[in-house]
Every structure is written in structure tokens, then in C-alpha cells.
Chains A and B, each alone.
Chain A
């Protein structure tokens, strides 16, 4: 076909829009997302053919001999008008908006030359929904592109929000205008990832953490999750997927964190505990398959949608919570806390972790183990606010005695990583067959078979909760026979978590981030969690006889 007079070849592109983008023309869109069903709401991708007919390129199948024009004066006028009409009922407080700078609507208005709005905003103003600990909804900034609705329904199978009412009253909301916290929302934050405006943003805890950092009588400790190191660099224009752990530790110390630890260490604890539990259940041949329990969005999803299967969840706390409980205990020692109050912060790629820290299972002996969970995006904002030039920072190591993690712990941030790490425990190390047994790959539903001695393990690795729902239905129906099931709510795992920086549309850095973690694993000398000497020392010391108290979910009275 020809695009703007240029001959362009196409192969299996699903729509004209993809062909146009392949030809390096960045056609504007608000509602088009590669992994979501076509919706055709925003009309910004409208193009013209040789006869002057206009149509939206996202919903048109490419055909041989097509003649497409992408930026005729007529189209420019249309697009400008569409944006101006969107702005007519849109909040215009750009300067104070959380999304300013990374807002798709703002970017397009700039690019397409919308420099004034002729219409007064007469729309009724809605209240902000701040009920969820993870995300904030501001319906006044919604452009009704429906990305959040589709990701929630089609990718996550949750459907906590949907369109309601119609015409000028139309809005995205939970059923009966309930607060998000009253719905089945699992806090995954994928809606915030696809939202082109500031209508859905992260529920920030930055101010709480600044306060703690400023208090001289408080010791602020933090732990950083594996996936954060390959996401944070995006916010500072570094090559996607680069591991910036060293610079991040330096930056966090500069911000005033007293101790910086690596959640990879916590992941190692999880591997050991979960593998032990799996082997125990395998030996007794009861309560199989075992479901992983490190993803809080998945845990909530399983408990609310499949309560009959929730007993299959491992009793293990997540790496964040295991490590949180250990740190709380560690800093009870007066030589460690120096007589100060200790505030425990985590830095996560995930918005659901903000909910997880508040759950009853995240309390030990009447105390909440972790005080604040920040996302990668919030930490990037803190670094910027402090004026730290991130890209120029020297690298430094995490602090003793929890600075060391294994390769198995670090790949927790990728779908299949938890299973691979557990197999490294069962197999006594990396035996060469684990990485090729089916656990790796970006697909949302994978199956693996792992043989070790007499043992043959079959399992499934799932990411995206809609995939998880399909698997649960099959397990319920007795159609599959697995011993291990790993589920991550976010497609491709934590590297693409709801708290990670979002860089434009269609240029999702998923593969780079995944490779970033696998390369980190390669660079680590210690591959299996059980070989981590710092972990072994903990089992001999602080943890002795207390594994269940600190590392597993306490029984909670309903």
C-alpha cells in the first residue's frame, strides 16, 4: 500500500494503524493499545484514502493497493477539533496535575497545536476517589478512552470499573458509583499504566516518607524489589532495561535513607520456604497444586473469585513481607536501632504492595511490619524533587547484612522467575534444564515439565489475571493435573508492574526489562537461593525456630 505517497509493505499487521506506525509515522491515538481489543473511541487515528473517504486506521484491515494519507489539512483540522472538544470538559489544572509531563493528552495537544480552548467547562465536577491505597481516580480528567475498562476486563478479568450512564453524563466508574476500595479491584494498577491522562494515578505516599526522612529521631530503612532496578532508569532517559541498582542505592542514601537493602534477599527466603512447602505437600500428595503467593493482586483475586481454591495458596508471605518481618525483628535490637524509632519503607514496581502492607496477614505480633510501600514512579519523583542528577551517580552496594541476593531471587521480577528459582532449590542448583523446561518466555500462559531424579514436576506459569481465571476454571473442572502454579497479575511479571514508569504508547520496554533481569542473574555468582551465605546465616541466627512466625501468613480470624 502507499502511505503519504510512499510505498510500504505490510505482512501480518492487524490494522492500518500498525502499518502506518511501522512506516515511522507516529499517528496520534488515545484509545489504541496493542494488547487490548480495538475500541475506536478517540478517532484521532483517522486517515484519508485516495477518494477522500476518512476512517479510523485502528479498525481498518490493511489491504493491497490501499492509498492512505495521514496528515492532510482536513485530518489536521479534525484532530485539532477532537482534542479541543475533549479539553472542553476536561480539568485544565495541568501545572498541578500528577501526570503533567507524561500525559498523553497534554503531549498531543502540544504536538497538534491546540493552543486555545474556545469552550467553557460546564460539566458537573465529580469527587476524587481516594479510597484505594493504591490508586486515585479523578473522573474530571477522564477522556473516556476506555483503556482502563478494557485492561481491567480483558487482561485482568476483574472488571471493577466500566462505563456508566450515557451521552454527556457518561463516565467510568465502579458499579453504583461505589468507591474503588469497596469493589473487587485487586490494586494491580494496570489501569493507571494505560490511562493517557491524570484520571487514574498512583496513590502517593511520598509526603509520608519525606516526613520520616526529615525526622532526626527516626531511622528510615528501605528494601528495593528486583524489578525496580530495570525500570527506574526509564524515568531518567537511560536505555530501557538497564540495571541501575548501584546508582539507585546511592540516590536513596542521598535522599536520607539510613539503610538500603535488596528485596532479592527476601525473595531468597521466599524461595526456600515455598520450595520446602511444595516438597512437603508433594510428599504427602495433598493440597496440590500449590499456588504461589508472592503477588498480592493475585492473592486477592484468588480469595475473592475462587475462594474454593484459595486453600491451594502457599502460606508463604511475599518477599516484601518476609523481609519486612525480618527487618522489624532485626531492628528491635538497640545496637541496631540506636534508640531511634524505625520506619520501614519498601520500593516496589507494584501498586498492590501498598494494599498488601495493610492486610492482617502482614502484621506480626500485633504490629504492622512495613510502614510505607513506594512505587518506582514515586521514587523517581523523589529523586527529581531533590535535584539529584541520577544519570551521573556513582554506583554503590546495598547495606550489610542483607546486601546479597541470589540470581534466583532477582528473576522474581519476571513471569516464571519464581518457579525457576524454586526449581533451582529442588534441583540443587541450575542444572541446565531448568531454564529450558518451559518456565521462560513472555507468554501469559505457559506449561512446564521438570525432571529431577525420580521426580517429575508439571506446572503452569501464568501472568495476567484473565489467564489465571481461565486456568482456575480448568483446575476446578479437573481438566489439568499440575503440582505447581505460579501466577503474576501483571502481564510479563513485575517488570511491567502497575507502579513502573510508563514511557509512551507502543514502545513498551517489556523485553528489555526481562532481559535486564536475566542478565543480572547471569552476572551473579550465586544462582540458587539456598547457596546465599547471608540467607544461611539468618536461618542459623535470627530465624532459628521462628520461620513460621516471621515468614508465613498468620492465621487470621475472619
Chain B
């Protein structure tokens, strides 16, 4: 059970939309925008409010890559693994960051809740390949070393 404030916030979000099944996606998008992830408890809560089953809501939310049921780190790193970035060697960047951050294909977020590492299929910045994003900022023409440096820089900023 989450803190009461989560549910109050969710009620406010639902109130901004119509309380019916078709509003499910916009509502959970807003929840994710608020908390940087979609707490499972809130998905169930919204399902109950909209009169759809929990399994149906889970079906929708799990279909889209965008929704995450786990709390994400403060910095969400998206490494592009689209065709252009892939041939320009995005995979080694990925491997290096896995190593630097102690993450893996199964573990996306560092224990200190600072970094989340994801792959995306295309950032639409193929001319800048291999590209990567940290939160809303695009970083072009990356190499394993420059990616590691960037992470180190962010870490230092945090520890100050």
C-alpha cells in the first residue's frame, strides 16, 4: 500500500480526464509523468475506478514499452539501438555502461536510484549516430569512453 498522497494525486489526475475505460492510457501517462514510473498499486487503483479489470489494465500497460512498473533513476539514459546507431556500434557503448553502472539486461536501475539504462529502437537522430539521451538531452556521436566519462561526470555532480 502506498502513501495516501499517491491516491489523492491519482484522484486529481483522473478528475482531469473522463472516468471511463477509454481514458486509461492518458491517465497512466500522467501518473508516470508525475512519479517517473507507474506504481503497480496505482494501475490497479485506476482500473478499479474506471471499471476495468486489473488484468486488462496490465495488458494495456505492459504492451507499451514506455510504461515502467519500477521506479526509475534520477537520470534515465536511453541508448539508441536503431539500425543506424547499431551499425555505428551502439552495442559496445551499452556493454560499457552495463559494466560502469553494474547493470544488466534484467537490472535496469542502479541501487542508489541514480541511473536507469534503457535501449530504444530509434531516437530519430540517425545523423548523430550512435546517439544517446540522458533525460531530455541528446548526446551525439558517442563512444564507450565518452559515455563512461559522461556517467562519471554526472556522478561527481551528485556527490558534491
Residues in chain B near residue A166, CB distance under 8 A? 62-63
Q: Which residue of B lies closest to A152 (CB)?
A: B55
- B57 in contact (CB, < 8 A): yes
The 8 closest A-B pairs by CB, nearest first: A159-B53, A175-B58, A162-B55, A175-B54, A162-B59, A175-B55, A164-B62, A166-B63
- A119 in contact (CB, < 8 A): no
Q: Which residue of A lies closest to B69 (CB)?
A: A176
**Cβ contact within 8 Å between A162 and B63:** no
Residues in chain A near residue B57, CB distance under 8 A? 175
Measured in the bound complex, the distance between the Cα atoms of B54 and A161 in whole Å is 9
Residues in chain B near residue A161, CB distance under 8 A? 55
Measured in the bound complex, the distance between the Cα atoms of B56 and A175 in whole Å is 8
**B11 vs chain A, min Cβ distance (A):** 21
Q: Which residue of B lies closest to A171 (CB)?
A: B62
Residue of B44, B53, B54, B55 with highest tally of chain A CB at under 10 A: B55
Residues in chain A near residue B56, CB distance under 8 A? 153, 159, 162
Known: A175-B58, A176-B69. A162 touches B53 (CB 8 A): yes
Measured in the bound complex, the distance between the Cα atoms of B58 and A160 in whole Å is 11
Measured in the bound complex, the distance between the Cα atoms of B58 and A173 in whole Å is 10
Which chain B residues numbered 42 to 77 have a C-beta less than 8 Å away from chain A? 44, 53-59, 62-63, 69
Q: Which residue of B lies closest to A174 (CB)?
A: B55
- A183 in contact (CB, < 8 A): yes
- A163 in contact (CB, < 8 A): yes
**B56 vs chain A, min Cβ distance (A):** 5
Measured in the bound complex, the distance between the Cα atoms of B104 and A133 in whole Å is 36
Measured in the bound complex, the distance between the Cα atoms of B55 and A163 in whole Å is 8
Q: Which residue of B lies closest to A169 (CB)?
A: B62
Q: How many residues of A contact B (CB 8 A)?
A: 15
**Per-position 1/0 for A442-454, Cβ under 8 A of B:** 0000000000000
Measured in the bound complex, the distance between the Cα atoms of B55 and A176 in whole Å is 8
A sample of 17 cross-chain residue pairs with beta-carbon separation below 8 angstroms, ordered by A number, consists of A153-B53, A153-B56, A159-B53, A161-B55, A162-B53, A162-B55, A162-B56, A162-B58, A164-B59, A165-B62, A166-B63, A173-B55, A174-B55, A175-B53, A175-B58, A176-B69, A183-B55
- B144 in contact (CB, < 8 A): no
Q: Which residue of B lies closest to A164 (CB)?
A: B62
* Interface bin, chain B: 10 to 19
**Cβ contact within 8 Å between A176 and B58:** yes
Measured in the bound complex, the distance between the Cα atoms of B56 and A159 in whole Å is 8
Residues in chain A near residue B40, CB distance under 8 A? 176
Measured in the bound complex, the distance between the Cα atoms of B56 and A173 in whole Å is 10
Which residues does A use to contact B, with CB under 8 Å?
153, 158-166, 173-176, 183
Measured in the bound complex, the distance between the Cα atoms of B40 and A174 in whole Å is 13
**Cβ contact within 8 Å between A175 and B63:** no
Partner of A165, one of B54, B55, B63: B63
Residues in chain A near residue B63, CB distance under 8 A? 164-166
Q: Which residue of A lies closest to B64 (CB)?
A: A166
**Cβ contact within 8 Å between A159 and B55:** yes
Measured in the bound complex, the distance between the Cα atoms of B15 and A518 in whole Å is 55
Known: A175-B44, A175-B54, A176-B40. A163 touches B69 (CB 8 A): no
Residues in chain B near residue A165, CB distance under 8 A? 62-63
Other CB < 8 Å A-B pairs besides A161-B55, A176-B40, 11 of them? A153-B53, A153-B56, A159-B53, A159-B55, A164-B63, A173-B55, A175-B54, A175-B57, A176-B58, A176-B69, A183-B54
Residue of A162, A165, A173, A174 with highest tally of chain B CB at under 10 A: A162
Residues in chain A near residue B55, CB distance under 8 A? 159-162, 164, 173-175, 183
Which chain B residues numbered 1 to 58 have a C-beta less than 8 Å away from chain A? 40, 44, 53-58
Measured in the bound complex, the distance between the Cα atoms of B56 and A239 in whole Å is 40
Measured in the bound complex, the distance between the Cα atoms of B90 and A101 in whole Å is 49
Measured in the bound complex, the distance between the Cα atoms of B69 and A153 in whole Å is 24
Residue of B54, B59, B69 with highest tally of chain A CB at under 10 A: B59
Q: Which residue of A lies closest to B54 (CB)?
A: A175
**A308 vs chain B, min Cβ distance (A):** 15
Measured in the bound complex, the distance between the Cα atoms of B57 and A129 in whole Å is 21
Measured in the bound complex, the distance between the Cα atoms of B54 and A102 in whole Å is 32
**A187 vs chain B, min Cβ distance (A):** 16
Measured in the bound complex, the distance between the Cα atoms of B63 and A24 in whole Å is 40
Residues in chain B near residue A160, CB distance under 8 A? 53, 55
**B108 vs chain A, min Cβ distance (A):** 15
Residues in chain A near residue B53, CB distance under 8 A? 153, 158-160, 162, 175
Measured in the bound complex, the distance between the Cα atoms of B56 and A300 in whole Å is 20
**A173 vs chain B, min Cβ distance (A):** 8
Measured in the bound complex, the distance between the Cα atoms of B56 and A183 in whole Å is 13
Measured in the bound complex, the distance between the Cα atoms of B32 and A247 in whole Å is 62
Measured in the bound complex, the distance between the Cα atoms of B54 and A160 in whole Å is 8
Residues in chain A near residue B62, CB distance under 8 A? 164-166
Residues in chain A near residue B54, CB distance under 8 A? 175-176, 183
Measured in the bound complex, the distance between the Cα atoms of B58 and A166 in whole Å is 12
Measured in the bound complex, the distance between the Cα atoms of B67 and A164 in whole Å is 13
Residues in chain B near residue A158, CB distance under 8 A? 53
Residues in chain A near residue B69, CB distance under 8 A? 176
Measured in the bound complex, the distance between the Cα atoms of B67 and A176 in whole Å is 13
**A155 vs chain B, min Cβ distance (A):** 14
**B112 vs chain A, min Cβ distance (A):** 25
Residues in chain B near residue A183, CB distance under 8 A? 54-55
Residue of A153, A163, A174, A183 with highest tally of chain B CB at under 10 A: A163
Measured in the bound complex, the distance between the Cα atoms of B77 and A229 in whole Å is 64
Which chain B residues numbered 87 to 109 have a C-beta less than 8 Å away from chain A? none
Residues in chain B near residue A174, CB distance under 8 A? 55
Residue of A153, A160, A164, A174 with highest tally of chain B CB at under 10 A: A164
**A373 vs chain B, min Cβ distance (A):** 26
Q: Which residue of B lies closest to A161 (CB)?
A: B55
**A126 vs chain B, min Cβ distance (A):** 15
Residues in chain B near residue A173, CB distance under 8 A? 55
Q: Which residue of A lies closest to B47 (CB)?
A: A175
**A197 vs chain B, min Cβ distance (A):** 20
Measured in the bound complex, the distance between the Cα atoms of B152 and A367 in whole Å is 65
Residues in chain B near residue A176, CB distance under 8 A? 40, 54, 58, 69
Measured in the bound complex, the distance between the Cα atoms of B59 and A173 in whole Å is 9
Measured in the bound complex, the distance between the Cα atoms of B56 and A161 in whole Å is 8
Residues in chain A near residue B58, CB distance under 8 A? 162, 164, 175-176
Q: Which residue of B lies closest to A157 (CB)?
A: B53
